[in-house]
Copies of this chain bind each other. A is one copy, B any other.
C-alpha cells in the first residue's frame, strides 16, 4: 500500500502538496519535515519583477481562519531561478512554480524564463486568483474568456504541465474551470482564498492595511469542497483540491469529492508538521481500511438523488 498518485503524466509520492505562499520555497519547512513523502511543493507566487508586497499589517485572525494581504511579496522570477529553484529541486518532491502576472504578457515572459529550466520544474501553476493585488490575477481569473485566452497563450509556448489556480470569488467556478480546460490546462487547482475584511472597532480601520485580504483555513472548507466537486463533475482533466484542509479526514473528503491531489496551506502555518502528520495518518487509514491505492477513492462521492 502506498500513497502514490498518478495525475496526468506525473506521479506524486502522496496527494499532499504544499500550497503556494504558505511555505515560501521550502527552506524553513525542511527543518521541520522530510519531503520524501510529500507530493509536491508550490513556490511562493512569483512575478516578473521583485515585489515588496503590501504595506502594513498583513494578517488578521478570524473564526477558524485567517485573512492575509501579503500581496505577492517575492524576489522576482529571475532571482528565484538563480537562488531558490535549485533548493526546491533538491527536496526530492515535485516542484510546482506558481506565477502571477499583471497581464498576459507578464505570464508569457515568465513562462519563457521557466522554459529554460524545464528540467527542474514539474508543473507551472498559473495563479489567476490572488485577491491581494490590484491588476491581473483575480481580474483575469474572474472571466472565463480571459482565462481561456491566457491559458491557451501560455499553453502554446510551453510543454511544462500547466495547472490553473482558480478563485472562489466567482458566480460559477464550473465556468472558469471549463475555460481553463478548454485553454489547455492539465489540471485546475480549486480554490484560492475568498476575499474578506476584518475591522478594528477601536480605530474604525480595517485590520489589514490593504483593507481586504484572502480568507483561508477551515472556515472555507465547505465552500472549497463544494467547488472541487462542481469542477470535477464538469471537467475531464484532474482537479487539485485546496482550502481549509487540517487533517487526513479533510484530505479524504476532498479526494472523495473529486480531487486527485490536495494542497495544504494555512494548516502548515499553524502546525509546521501538519503535512507529515497527515501522510502518516493516511498511511494508517489506507492500511486499516485495506485501500490498495488512494486513487481508488478519488471522485467516489455518491451524490444523493442522482
Interface residues of A (CB under 8 A from B): 56, 60, 62-65, 67, 142, 169-171, 194-199, 201, 203-206, 208-212, 215, 217-223, 225-226, 229, 244, 249, 252-253, 256-257, 297, 300-305
Contact = CB atoms under 8 A, between A and B. Distances in A.
B223 A196 contact: yes
Closest 6 CB pairs of A and B: A196-B222, A63-B218, A219-B219, A64-B64, A63-B64, A197-B226
A300 B201 CA distance: 10
Nearest to A213: B222
B297 A221 contact: no
A219 B56 CA distance: 24
B257 A297 contact: no
A64 B305 CA distance: 28
Nearest to A299: B204
B201 A225 contact: no
A142 B174 CA distance: 15
Nearest to A197: B226
A219 B64 contact: yes
A11 B52 CA distance: 48
B222 A62 contact: yes
Contacts of A303: 205-206, 211
Contact of A256 (B204, B244, B304): B204
A196 B303 CA distance: 14
Given A211-B303, A301-B204, A301-B206, A256 B225 contact: no
Interface centre among A142, A222, A226, A249 (most CB of B within 10 A): A222
